Each structure stands twice: as C-alpha cells, then as structure tokens.
Amino acid sequence: MPKTDCADVFDADAIIEKYFDTVYRLALSQTRDTHKADDIVQDVFVRFMKTDKKFESEEHIKAWLIRVTINCCKSMYTSSWFKKTVPLSDELTFELPEEHDVYYAVAKLPQKYRTVIHLFYYEDLSVNQISKYLDTKESTVKSQLHRAREMLKNILGGGTEYGF
C-alpha cells in the first residue's frame, strides 16, 4: 500500500474528533493535571496537523498519537515547573465508587506504571504493542505490569473485588 500524506487519505477533522478523548485521557493519566493535559492535547494535535509523516493506516495514526502524547508528557517531566505539579485532586466525578477508587489508585502509581496500566487496561494494547510504543523490551513491560498490579493491590486493600 503506497504511503500518502494523512491529509490526502485520512480526514484530519475526523481523526481529531475520534482520538481527541483518547489523547486527553492518556495525557491526564500521565500528568494528573487537567490543565496540563489540555496543553498536551493541544500540542499533540497541532503536531499532527503539521506533520508530513506518511501514515499507512488509521492504526498507524493512533500509534503515532499515543507515542507523541507520551513523549510530550516526558518532555514536561523534565521541565522545571513540572516539579510544582500536585497529584490529581478529587475534581473528577465518577458514576460508581469503584470507578473512582480504581482511577485514583492508578493515579497514585509512579509515572511509568501509570503508562503501562493505561495502555494495557484502557487502550487494550498487548505487551508486544506497548513495548514497541515505549521502545522497551517486552520483559520490561511485563515486569512493570506485574509491579503495578502489586502496588494496586496494596492501594486497593487487597484488590480481591477487582480480580487481582
């Protein structure tokens, strides 16, 4: 399949509309700050609109968006003002208490564990896919998932009701 500019084949508006929340949710899980997540979303999609990248498929676009989101978040970590970031406050409301507990339990994890948990459980990516997205080894992803689950168990008080 010949590679073409995304603008030629893929409708940029439709892509933004479709993956807008995906990028935002990932950014929020990484930054734990709604305002910073807004900034990341804006940055990612402006890059998307400007890129000359040849996309092969919509799946390729999604992968690109996820990678760029993670990279933008990483860039944010290294900036001096990021140190002032406070953990996610209880400003988000959820329908069920379980959803609240689980979401905030994940928010308490170190950044690298939040990343793999979000990609694995929310984006339904396989370990192999996550390792490619994060450019790390599968064994590392497995290890991080294992450790993240252990941490979540502790945070959720055993986590038996969540299938841990």
Partner 1 sequence: MDFKEAYKNANNSIHADRALIDRIYIKAQQQKKTKVINYSIFGSLAAAAAVFVLVFNAINMGSGKINGGETYVAHGDLKARVATEEIKTAEKTEKNVPNDTADLTLKQEQNSKAAVESTDIKTETVQEDVRYDTFNTTSSAVGSLSGASDIAMAGIEYEESMEDAFSPYESYTANEYYDYIGSDVISVAKIPSDMKFEKFNGADITKDENGSIIADTGTFIAYDALKEKSITIEVTKIPQMTRGAALNDTDGLKTVQIVKDDLIYTITAFNVTDGEIDELVASLQQ
SS (H, E, C) the chain: CCCEEHHHHCCHHHHHHHHHHHHHHHHHHHHCCHHHHHHHHHHHHHHHHHCCCEECCHHHHHHHHHHHHHHHHHHHHHCHHHHHCCCCCCCCCCCCHHHHHHHHHHHCCCHHHHHHHHHHHHCCCCHHHHHHHCCCCHHHHHHHHHHHHHHHHHHCCCCHHHCC
Q: How far is the CB of 8 from partner 1 (least distance, A)?
A: 14
Can you state the angle between helices 97-107 and 138-155, rounded to 10 degrees?
Answer: 130
Q: How far is the CB of 128 from partner 1 (least distance, A)?
A: 11
Q: How far is the CB of 73 from partner 1 (least distance, A)?
A: 10
Comparing CB distances to partner 1, the nearer of 8 and 83 is 83
Comparing CB distances to partner 1, the nearer of 130 and 152 is 152
Comparing CB distances to partner 1, the nearer of 9 and 132 is 132
Q: How far is the CB of 3 from partner 1 (least distance, A)?
A: 6
Comparing CB distances to partner 1, the nearer of 25 and 58 is 25
Comparing CB distances to partner 1, the nearer of 11 and 56 is 56
Q: How far is the CB of 24 from partner 1 (least distance, A)?
A: 4
